[in-house]
Structure 1
Amino acid sequence: MRAKKVGTAKPAKASRSPRASLLEVTLRNAIAIIVLNRPDLHNAFNDTLIAELTDTLSALDGDEGVRAVVLAGAGKSFCAGADLHWMKKMAGHSHAENLADAKALAQMLRTLYGLSKPTIARVHGTAMGGGVGLVACCDIAIAAQEASFAFSEGKLGLIPATIAPYVIEAIGARQARRYFITAERFTAAEAFRIGLVHDIVPAIELDARVNELLGALLLAGPRAQMECKALIRGVAHRPIDAKVIAGTAEHIAAVRASQEGRDGVAAFLGKRGAPWAPPEPTEGS
């Protein structure tokens, strides 16, 4: 079945969300497009953006009308990580204040990583520090060929602490050792090689590639996608023992007997589209 193309994920066409002054949020064809909107600062995040992104992600996760989430950046960059002016201000605060601030950032990353809906990072320009963390938290990451990446914290005398669990899961400890301690920039091709991004395309094809993936995502069952994400979290990095084997059997048994599971199998056997899938485009449409 051919995937139906959905509305473009291009940031320039997003509309300002009344809820989030530093974000632009667009809902289009069951897709939520979140655009980090501080282009003058390369979409660096401060405490306000962190809070808004956390709240927005939480709201979208509870919206049954949203099937997938795209994360993008306005202007020349995807995300430069933390706002240095904000970091300088926080350096003068107490340990308790810095800890609360760091926990808020960690919660934002955890919310993105743990979202029940599929997430795609649309990466162009530069992704630095925490911006790379956002990429690692998403289920799928697509980058423009000219994009560049860096864990720049070391050059500032800092460490990429809150993003480390997600980055290390994506690229492994061995690659993290190199790029965390050198803080060197690396290309999109290198990001692909080490597993940070899934695909790289010419910038002009970035939106088309994202749309292609969104079309594929809309053909799969929303509960199945949620359960797949839970399955991976429950199985990854665990020994293949009796507990894991029993858990996977219980998991598929429950999903197979669910309404979505029954509907999906019946649609396949009946040679018709699943009830959650978008309709096939008609001739001339």
Structure 2
Amino acid sequence: MYETITAETDPRGVTTLTLARPEKHNALSPQMMDELTEAADRLGRDPAVRVVVLTGAGDSFCAGGDLGWMRDQMAADGAARAREARRLAEMLARLDALPKPLIGRVQGQVLGGGMGLISVCDVAIGVAPARFGFTETGLGLIPATIGPYVIARMGAAMARRVFMSARIFGAEEAVRLGLLAQAVAPEALDAAVEEEVRPYLACAPGAVAEAKALARRLGPATDDAVIALSIEALVARWDSDEAAEGVGAFFDRRKPRWAE
């Protein structure tokens, strides 16, 4: 059914939704974004699904947006850029609105768009060796479409510590910042995720869905206007000289002109 993700549901109604591009560290390609959007819609409608666990195959959870896709935006026109930015924004919005508990099972690298994915989870558990970072500004880009969900998760004051420095930080700091609920040893990850899953199986599914929807409404706004603002910000940044330099420098395997 899918080529870049897998979705497997156990007899209890717990679906494991896995990013399945391990050779690319599960970077978000256009196809993966579309498949995640479709999966979120399908799982949300399926009454047999009680809980969704989001994880990544291989050594990384998600290393961000596919850099080939980003490079394509440098040569694209404004309409194409807006379409691609909306593709990413729609994926995040559908996962955020999923009417089932969404639990992140996090390992390895979590960079760029991967930070958005853990921010739309209701709770995320990570391994102690994992590494995190909003790496966009190092490429001349900005964490735009993920921004509403990151700010909702961390709060503006916490987010400003790491949102624009491209600094890589560890799992314990991710816990302090509110991105992870806890950091555990790799061998304890599955048990820790199961501890988050199990209580939901004793709850009324409709009540869980309505409680989640209420929490989203009471929290910071991630409505159409906010999402549109994030799309416009990403499209404008793709049009900048800094983005062309930063993405070009990455593929040329050199430092961008602003780097020491």
Interval containing the TM-score (normalised by the shorter chain): 0.7 to 0.9
Residues 152 and 220 in structure 2, CA contact (< 8 A), matched pair in contact too: no
Determine the C-alpha separation between the residues in 1 that align with 2:18 and 2:220: 32
Note the 1:30-179 alignment, pairs <5 A.
Answer: 30-179=13-162
What is aligned with 2:229? none
Compute the displacement of 1:193 (Å). Answer: 0.4
| Structure 2: stretches of 5+ with no match in the other structure | 222-260
Residues 154 and 179 in structure 2, CA contact (< 8 A), matched pair in contact too: yes
Compute the displacement of 1:176 (Å). Answer: 1.9
TM-score (norm 1): 0.75
Residues 152 and 219 in structure 2, CA contact (< 8 A), matched pair in contact too: no
Bigger Cα displacement from structure 2, 160-169 vs 84-93: 84-93
What are the Cα deviations for residues 29-81 of structure 1, in whole angstroms up to 9, with x where unaligned?
Answer: 20111110111110001111100110011001000000010100001000001
Which SS does the other structure have where 1:182 is aligned?
Answer: coil
What is aligned with 2:180? 197
What is aligned with 1:249? none
CA RMSD between the two structures:
1.1
Which structure would you say has the larger Rg?
A: 1
Compute the displacement of 1:89 (Å). Answer: 1.4
What are the Cα deviations for residues 95-127 of structure 1, in whole angstroms up to 9, with x where unaligned?
Answer: 110101000110000000011100001000110
Alignment partner for residue 2 of structure 2, among 9, 20, 42?
20
Distance 1:192 1:177, change over 3 A: same
Compute the displacement of 1:175 (Å). Answer: 2.2
Determine the C-alpha separation between the residues in 1 that align with 2:6 and 2:161: 35
What are the Cα deviations for residues 116-175 of structure 1, in whole angstroms up to 9, with x where unaligned?
Answer: 100001000110000010000010100011111000000000000000000011111122
**Residue type matched to 1:85 in 2?**
G
Determine the C-alpha separation between the residues in 1 that align with 2:219 and 2:160: 21
Determine the C-alpha separation between the residues in 2 that align with 1:233 and 1:48: 27
Alignment partner for residue 198 of structure 2, among 204, 215, 221?
215
Determine the C-alpha separation between the residues in 1 that align with 2:96 and 2:76: 29
| Structure 1: stretches of 5+ with no match in the other structure | 1-18, 239-285
TM-score (norm 2): 0.83
Which SS does the other structure have where 1:143 is aligned?
Answer: strand
Compute the displacement of 1:237 (Å). Answer: 5.0
What is aligned with 1:188? 171
Residues 37 and 91 in structure 2, CA contact (< 8 A), matched pair in contact too: yes
- Residue identity over aligned pairs, in percent, reads 43
Determine the C-alpha separation between the residues in 2 that align with 1:96 and 1:138: 30
Q: Of the two structures, which has the highest relative contact order with CA contacts closer than 8 Å and spacing of 6 or more?
A: 2
Bigger Cα displacement from structure 2, 41-50 vs 229-238: 229-238
Determine the C-alpha separation between the residues in 1 that align with 2:220 and 2:117: 21
Which SS does the other structure have where 1:181 is aligned?
Answer: coil
Note the 1:221-260 alignment, pairs <5 A.
Answer: 221-236=204-219
Compute the displacement of 1:200 (Å). Answer: 1.2
Residues 159 and 177 in structure 2, CA contact (< 8 A), matched pair in contact too: no
**Residue type matched to 2:30 in 1?**
D
**Residue type matched to 1:26 in 2?**
E
